Chains A and B, each alone.
Chain A
Amino acid sequence: MADILLEGRDLVKHYPVTKGLLQRIVGWVRAVDGVSFTIERGKTMSLVGESGAGKTTTARAVLLQETLTSGSIIFEGTDITKWSMAQLKTGYRPRVQAVQQNPWSSMNPRMRIRDVIAEPLVVNTKQTKQQNRERVLELLDQVGIARENINRYPHEFSGGQRQRIAVARALALKPSLVVLDEPVSALDVSIRAQIMNLLKDLQVKHNLSYLVIAHNLATVRYMSHAVAIMYLGQIVEYGETEELFKNPLHPYTKALISASMLTLPEDEDQELKQIILTGEMPSPLNPPLGCRFHTRCSEAGNTCAEEVPELHTVGTQHWVKCHHYD
């Protein structure tokens, strides 16, 4: 049995849409609509999808930045949605940290690096200044930033260096899970590999779990152990990374992979024909009935428009929601 650190069960987040003088609720944006996933200890799980798919909302829920409409988050065996604020503050928050996409805006420009990295310690622990300082130096070593930079301000660093500092801050409290929201997409191409390699090294060293939010499939394949493909608030396919990329099942997954595949002009005819989806993702305010993907799916049949597809397990670590596997 896999060692599961965190599990999301049927997570739902609906935002009300109001209208008029009396703020009458006229509809709901179904940002996340029944999402379940598991994150194993020491492993990386990625949520992949286009903007509006609900991956960021899901991650925000894990980070307690959203109040869920329903669903539960099981952390080391207990449901934290039932915990009190005080319990969360001591038992959950310090264990789940985050690195954000944009290293230029994720640090208070008025704080020195030592304070940026020590902030989680100041807020969550009662350590002395000396203890904090030692921890900060230790963290700087781990992420490959020279110790003498401790008194400098964020703007004195390049994007790549800042992202290293953001990683150091996320590790300050020795968390079990780090949520990585597009950790390299704001960086220059030649810098991305540095950061991805650093994150992989730190994962092995500290037995960290990562929840990665990404839209770039190649990055995801390189970073993660398991992948969940999201579309319009739902996970449509989930699998162990290699299995999923070698044997994609859902038509949407296939289209995404095809879109991100490096195909040279002359290979085009030999390899599998490029899949170009028609149309755009519908609004989560009014998602299609049946399978949510059927409006753009070239293989959609009659049932797809009417019935919500069930989950089909294919092998041990792979499942899909699609009528084709009924």
Chain B
Amino acid sequence: MSELLLKVEDLQTAFFTRQGVIKAVDGVSFHVRDGETVGIVGESGCGKTVTGLSILRLLPEPAGRIIGGKIIFQGVNLVELSKNHMRAYRGKMISMILQDPMTSLNPVFPIGDQIAESVRLHQGLPDDMIQPEVISALRLLKIPAPEMRLNDYPFQLSGGMRQRVVGAIAMSCHPRLLIADEPTTALDATIQAQYIALFKDIQQKTNVGIIFITHDFGVVAKMCHRVCVMYAGKIVETAPTSVIFKAPRHPYTVALINSVPRLDRKDERLYSIEGQPPSMANLPPGCRFCPRCSAAQDICRKQQPPEVKISDDHSVSCWRIS
């Protein structure tokens, strides 16, 4: 088994707004090993993006704050680091890819400069060593003719190419952990497939650990080794990818997988989950999924379910299991 890279324990992140405190992430625990891809899957608003930003400590200030838990990266609790120490981790040890390639590159600087900036900052190389390093980052992302691309501005590139440049920035300083927030959602199907294949290849070459945040089960299946399913600020089920698809235990996971049409079979009628996710400002007291759950019991409405380990790497938070 490979080394433990990141361990998140009981992470709680809240937003302090004029309208009150909103706990976007409420007691989330998971871990990532070297060379492993962990998927965080959920619908919009479940707190998956906030989880990713919490690890980098880049919550929107001053509203967002981590109010509890530990984020242990290679033995160091990131929550306790000073601002300057934390900054030294960003881009160097932990990197992130954002969802929309059209807005995540600075429109007024050539892409070469945007990559070089990271390299210069974190690697302390002499000036003449920077450009080869930038080109090798572009090459790692399989950007054709990288030498020719250095002076291009973002708007001159297609969405797929931009997302590769974002990837090149992320990988330019050889990070150990990469947080990818819906990196393929904005891309077309065949480009998406390219990108996923590319990152599997990069992972093999560099042994980087990846947290893959997405709402798309198809992408999860292709990319991830393990999956955490999030609902309304909590992880409801964690399991290896094949277990999630073949033997899901939480009613939400089951319903979600059954409500997504499949390409490999003919569905006569899809299962549909009634209702919609709860508002984070107004959560039900018991299990957060119980208002939409077809198997809800009395206890589900009153008390939050504990996390139960079914096997070594499969745990579920549901009263029916315990």
With the chains together, A257 CA to B266 CA distance in Å?
14
Does any Cβ of B come within 8 Å of A263's Cβ?
Answer: yes
**Which of B197, B241, B259 contacts A276, CB < 8 Å?**
B197
Q: Are A190 and B189 in contact (CB under 8 A)?
A: no
Residues of B within 8 A of A260 (CB): 189, 218, 263
Q: Are B189 and A193 in contact (CB under 8 A)?
A: no
Q: How many residues of B contact A (CB 8 A)?
A: 43
Given contact pairs A188-B276, A190-B277, A280-B191, A263 touches B259 in the complex (Cβ within 8 A): no
Q: Are A264 and B193 in contact (CB under 8 A)?
A: no
B190 CB, min distance to chain A CBs, angstroms: 5
With the chains together, A264 CA to B219 CA distance in Å?
10
Nearest-neighbor residue (CB-CB) of B218 within chain A: A262
Q: Are A261 and B189 in contact (CB under 8 A)?
A: no
Residues 233-278 of A contacting B (Cβ, < 8 Å): 242, 245, 255-266, 274-278
Does any Cβ of B come within 8 Å of A222's Cβ?
Answer: yes
Q: Are A215 and B189 in contact (CB under 8 A)?
A: yes
Q: Are B259 and A190 in contact (CB under 8 A)?
A: yes
Q: Are A218 and B274 in contact (CB under 8 A)?
A: no
Does any Cβ of B come within 8 Å of A207's Cβ?
Answer: no
Residues of B within 8 A of A265 (CB): 221-222, 224-225, 241-242
Q: Are A217 and B189 in contact (CB under 8 A)?
A: yes
With the chains together, A193 CA to B161 CA distance in Å?
33
With the chains together, A146 CA to B18 CA distance in Å?
33
Residues of B within 8 A of A281 (CB): 188
Which one of B192, B225, B264, B292 has the highest number of Cβ atoms from chain A below 10 Å of its Cβ? B264
With the chains together, A281 CA to B187 CA distance in Å?
12
Q: Are B263 and A217 in contact (CB under 8 A)?
A: yes
**Which of B44, B218, B222, B272 contacts A218, CB < 8 Å?**
B218
Residues of B within 8 A of A308 (CB): none
B287 CB, min distance to chain A CBs, angstroms: 16
Q: Are B189 and A262 in contact (CB under 8 A)?
A: no
Q: Are A221 and B276 in contact (CB under 8 A)?
A: no
Does any Cβ of A come within 8 Å of B262's Cβ?
Answer: yes
With the chains together, A194 CA to B218 CA distance in Å?
20
With the chains together, A193 CA to B269 CA distance in Å?
9
Q: Are A196 and B264 in contact (CB under 8 A)?
A: no
With the chains together, A278 CA to B191 CA distance in Å?
9
Given contact pairs A257-B263, A277-B193, A280-B191, A189 touches B276 in the complex (Cβ within 8 A): no
Q: Are A193 and B218 in contact (CB under 8 A)?
A: no
A60 CB, min distance to chain B CBs, angstroms: 20
Residues of B within 8 A of A54 (CB): none
Does any Cβ of B come within 8 Å of A197's Cβ?
Answer: yes
B229 CB, min distance to chain A CBs, angstroms: 11
Identify the 3 closest CB pairs spanning chains A and B, nearest first.
A50-B188, A259-B193, A193-B272
- Residues of chain B touching chain A, judged by Cβ–Cβ distance below 8 Å, are 43-44, 158, 160-161, 188-194, 197, 215-218, 221-222, 224-225, 241-242, 245, 255-256, 259-264, 266-267, 269-274, 276-277, 292
Q: Give 17 CB contacts A-B under 8 Å.
A: A188-B276, A188-B277, A190-B273, A190-B277, A190-B292, A193-B271, A194-B274, A197-B270, A218-B263, A256-B189, A256-B190, A263-B221, A263-B222, A265-B222, A278-B194, A280-B160, A281-B188
Q: A194-B272, A255-B193 are in contact. List 4 more A-B contacts (CB 8 A).
A: A189-B216, A194-B274, A221-B262, A276-B197
